[in-house]
Amino acid sequence: MEKLILIICDGLGDIPVNGKTPLQAARKPHIDALARDGECGLMHVFGMGIIPGSDTAHLQLLGYDPFLFYKGRGVFEALGAGIALGEGDVAFRSNFGTVDGRMNVTDRRAGRISTEEARELGKSLRGMKIDGAEVIFRQTVEHRGVLVLKGKGLSPNISDTDPHDGGPLLKARPLDKTREAKRTADILNKFTMLSNKILSAHPLNSKRKKEGTPPANIVLARGASVFERAPTIKGLYGISAACVAGGALYKGVGKYIGMDVLDVKGATGTKDTNLFSKAKAAEKALKNHDLVFLHIKATDSFGHDGDFKGRVGMIEKIDRIMPILRKTGAHIILTADHSTPVALKKHSFHPVPILAYGKLVRGDNVKKFDEIECAMGGIGHIEGRELMPLILSLLGKAKMFGT
Ligand code: ZN
Ligand code: ZN
């Protein structure tokens, strides 16, 4: 029975700085060995000229057309934070912010409050019910969190309370004329004022004020999205899959499509993530899954920071876990969800390098894994929607067309 490890290094694709991309500059003997023994190419995740977001790109790469299955990021963040969602629940991305006495948002990150303090404050917002809907707020990392409204008769068609660029706190408004949208906006507005009342009275905020740090005295919400159940990857493609990731978004995508999302100690979704323990978890998960999806976020973060050296260092760290993965005997696909060039500090249209290795891979003349070499590989230039057919082929699950 064939197995496959799909490694997605977030935002890995780049363009040269002083003649070299980070992949070209990095010392990565193990990854290059996989390129030499495998087959390479370039992948346009959504086609030429389209700049992928991480959420839509992951759906696409995992065989879920985002035009059908993308409902907004809040749903994935909520699932990734461990909240069980039911059909029709509405989820938001949210964060602690600071408002003054006239409800002006003076800091929409509440002074980048620490995870520990934010978690403590989050506890005071538990167990709420407003107008018959259950309201669940869960703090995740630093000032960030997710907000879920659970119940019947809700709608995602409402505006944000988060003013994004500061200024007065916004009132959520229904974006259509339905009762559901009006009701949902009302509930969100009531929750927002209630969060201000509860948090303002919290002793931790009195302490923050005394220390001269901005109190985290409001929960801001944005990007309402509705949960609708999707077919599982097992049902759709006949493969059992596990997800090894640190970031809530990626765990959420895994959960959404019915992967077993593993809790891996040290997998943080940040630059100090423990790649070694993630590789070990992937190795173990292969025993009872066809596919293991291994996500690494930090490559994207270094891209957004414009940190060339940091990105090179991260690639070299990733290189060091390759022997563990190669030894499993599983097929390996190494690629990215989009490019985040350090020179641009944001996602770009540039196609991403892709590498496939394993016993069903034919091979080519590429000897190094980088954006320039991969352009000459045997996989050629593909689109993201072709990745799942490649995965199925390597797993021996592709179907014959005709007889
Ligand atoms: Zn990404
Ligand atoms: Zn990014």
Would you give the distance in Å from CA 234 to the centre of its chain?
A: 21
Cα 233 to ligand 1 centre (Å): 21
Residues 251 and 79 sit within 8 Å (Cβ to Cβ)? yes
C-alpha 51/C-alpha 69 separation (Å) is 18
Cα 60 to ligand 1 centre (Å): 12
Residue 54: per-residue pLDDT: 96
Give the mean pLDDT of 393-397.
Answer: 96
Over residues 63-92, the pLDDT tens digits come to 999 999 998 899 999 999 999 999 999 999
Cα 300 to ligand 1 centre (Å): 6
Instruction: Set out the domains of the chain in order of their start, with CATH numbers.
Output: 4-71+231-394 (3.40.720.10), 85-226 (no CATH)
Task: Give phi and psi for 28, each to the nearest 5.
Answer: -145, 65
Give the mean pLDDT of 273-298.
Answer: 97
- Is the predicted pLDDT of residue 272 greater than 90, yes or no? no
Give the mean pLDDT of 30-52.
Answer: 97
CA distances from residue 244 to 13, 138, 215, 235, 251 in whole angstroms, order as listed: 21, 21, 35, 20, 8
Over residues 329-348, the pLDDT tens digits come to 999 999 999 999 999 999 99
End-to-end C-alpha distance for the chain, whole angstroms = 24
What residue spans of 264-374 are helical by DSSP H?
275-285, 298-304, 308-327, 371-374
Please name every residue paired with 381 in a beta bridge, in sequence order, or none if there are none: 42
Cα 339 to ligand 2 centre (Å): 9
Residue 189: per-residue pLDDT: 98
Looking at all shown ligands, the one closest to residue 58's CA atom is 1
Cα 154 to ligand 2 centre (Å): 31
- Is the predicted pLDDT of residue 360 greater than 90, yes or no? yes
Query: Confidence class of residue 142 from pLDDT cuts 50, 70 and 90?
Result: confident
Closest CA to 215 of 110, 106, 101, 112: 110
Cα 318 to ligand 1 centre (Å): 16
C-alpha 57/C-alpha 55 separation (Å) is 5
Which DSSP symbol is given to 353?
E
Contacts of 18 (CB under 8 A, 6+ apart): none
Helical pair 54-61 and 387-394, crossing angle rounded to 10 deg: 40
Over residues 220-264, the pLDDT tens digits come to 999 999 999 999 999 999 999 999 999 999 999 999 999 999 999
Residues 177-187 as b or e (16 or more Cβ within 10 Å = b): eeebbebbbbb
Looking at all shown ligands, the one closest to residue 300's CA atom is 2
- Is the predicted pLDDT of residue 268 greater than 90, yes or no? no
Looking at all shown ligands, the one closest to residue 13's CA atom is 1
CA distances from residue 212 to 98, 201, 207, 309 in whole angstroms, order as listed: 13, 17, 9, 35
Looking at all shown ligands, the one closest to residue 301's CA atom is 2
Q: What average pLDDT is seen over the chain?
A: 96
C-alpha 241/C-alpha 293 separation (Å) is 7
Which DSSP symbol is given to 371?
H
Half-sphere exposure of 15 (CA within 13 A, CB side): 11
Residue 141: per-residue pLDDT: 85
Q: What percent of the chain has pLDDT over 70?
A: 100
Label each residue of 140-186 as H, E or C. CCCCEEEEEEECCCCCCCECCCCCCCCEECCCCCECCCCHHHHHHHH
Looking at all shown ligands, the one closest to residue 340's CA atom is 2
pTM score of the predicted model: 0.93
Query: Confidence class of residue 120 from pLDDT cuts 50, 70 and 90?
Result: very high
- Is the predicted pLDDT of residue 134 greater than 90, yes or no? yes
| Type and span of the H or E element at 221 | strand 218-226
C-alpha 31/C-alpha 151 separation (Å) is 48
Query: Confidence class of residue 166 from pLDDT cuts 50, 70 and 90?
Result: confident
